[in-house]
Structure 1
Amino acid sequence: MKKERKLLDQLRDKIITKGYSRATEKTYVHWNKAFILFHNKRHPADMGKEEIETFLTYLAVEKNVSPTTQNQAFNAILFLYREVLGIDTADWNIRALRAKRKEHLPVVLTKEEVKAIIYHMNGIYKLMLELLYGCGLRVNELLRLRIKDIDFGFGNLYVWDSKSQKDRIVPLPKKIEEDLKIHIEHVHRIHEEDLSRGFGYIDLPHGLERKYPNAHREFKWQYLFPMKNLSTDPRSGRVMRHHILPTTFGRNIKRAVQKAKIPKKVSAHTFRHSYATHMLQAGIDIRTIQELLGHKDISTTMIYTHIVRSLSQENIKSPLDF
């Protein structure tokens, strides 16, 4: 008799079948494991609405998590019930004490500060940062770019399956077009070498490998910013060239910020905030910026109008200067 797979393994299987990312897999497994341990290892099938509410309230009150983190945990648990256990939660009307949203103005760099940080970036990481800032990308959007997503003919960059599940097109910075072309030629040589050694495999999004069985070795599907070394994919066990890791990119940004002597708390996402602010300062309308950033709701984009307003206070003086 075949032994039934463990619940969290079933969860992993369902996530992979749905075509979700490795990051989503790790997140969903983490929160469901935490949910089960919180309730003394009771099986989720023996729990329900009340236990979910208790756990979510605990996250808000005791762990003081952000609303985003609490929603992440909530979605992970609902996925387990609906997709793995086959339990309909539509009528549960789950009510937990919600984590309070803290309104913070994001850190924004001046154009001169952006240039200074880019100047102190080295090698491929400089081009990555220029593209990140120049297109207003999220970090994961940058790292998941494929060769095919760069369109020199129309001067565009294509972002697929973004955080908002909304595809979008953004203008490609003309300043870095030649550098990008040289880089892509370099990536092509690496891919040709990988193929000659029997490698060259790349993972495809959303089960496209079944639809296009030969696409996983085509150059156009290769990552734009691949790692230096081959690695084993934890899901398939295949040896492949994954994209550069966010931690590696983040360390290089931190080092450049220190060299540029900029006393601000800067992360990769700071450049997306700076992109939006600088676009607004240049007179680009808020709706266009919303489209370029891929925001679902205009209210998310409106935060940058507050930033620009607070930065434009030449006529307001401190009483110390009266």
Structure 2
Amino acid sequence: MNDIKEKHLLSTFVFDKKYQVWRHVLFIAFAAVITFNQVLIAYQDCQVVLGNDIYLIGGSSLMTYLTVMYFNYFYLTAKFLLRDRIWSYLIITMICMLSLPVLSLWIEYGVRNWANLNHRIADYSSPLILVDILSTSVITLICFCGISLILLYRTWSLTNQHVSVLEIEHLTSELKKLKGQITPEFLSRALHHASLWTIKDPQKTNDILLKLSELLRYQLYDAQQEKTLLNSELLYVTKFISLEKRCRPILESQLKIDKQHHYHQISPMLLLTLVQTFIKESNSLEISSNVENNMLTFLCKSHSITGALEDQLISIRKRLDLAYSHQYILQLETGSVTLKLALCH
């Protein structure tokens, strides 16, 4: 657990923008230690003669390295490496890396001539000098590429995060599109029957409008949440069927709903949409619902339906795929639909 936390803290320090200044400070501090160490080694035989001038030489050398490093960090990496121009990046970087040790030798040569000091290197044209330049360049190149790779990984990580956010937003948008709604046909039928009873039986009209307003309120408010209580969903399934029977007296229904699910939650309007889709094709309806071991079994059955409703339930299946993935089973048979769904608390 501690190892995971340490890795998390390290990645946060490397990639988080709020630590950007501290990263540069630490980077410059390391570069200063390495650069001044190289200068002190190069001039160890004449440090007393040079005195404080050796710090000026070290500072100049540090500024040269930092200039090339930040040129690589801010320009070369962004201009070439992040745009998949890898060969151009490697060629330009290698030229810069070869220039740094050559420049250091040239500065050392000039300083020793200026101070009338003995030269540390007897022959500057020796092939061993070329080998030393190449080895120093390769080591420096590895350091520079390491910095570039960190920047490359950070860009890749941020891109992946952005893609993940877009995918989540897309899935959320798809879920909102697929969320069930009270169909216009049902609304029209309910309002039509309410108007028919306005004069004959105003109380019946009030009952229809009251139940309809409760269903619409559930759709407008509760259905906007990611989850709702299973009891609430089942309650509105019952109210929907009751209102449908008011509008379609020939509809026969039989409900066996276990409502003792105080803590279970479900995606809102899911069961209501299933019933609404099923009831369109039916004049008789049997609904049963029970929960066992956090698994909901919801059955819609009708003897007046002679075929499966695969085409009518496409949107419901898509919604189940998005919201519940592999946590559901939707069984379609002649005249019946069974939904088995893993519930959450």
TM bucket (normalised to shorter chain) is under 0.3
The structure that has the greater radius of gyration is 2
Q: Which structure carries more relative contact order (alpha carbon 8 Å, separation 6+)?
A: 1
In terms of fraction of residues, the more strand-rich structure is 2
Give TM-score scaled by structure 2 length. Answer: 0.20
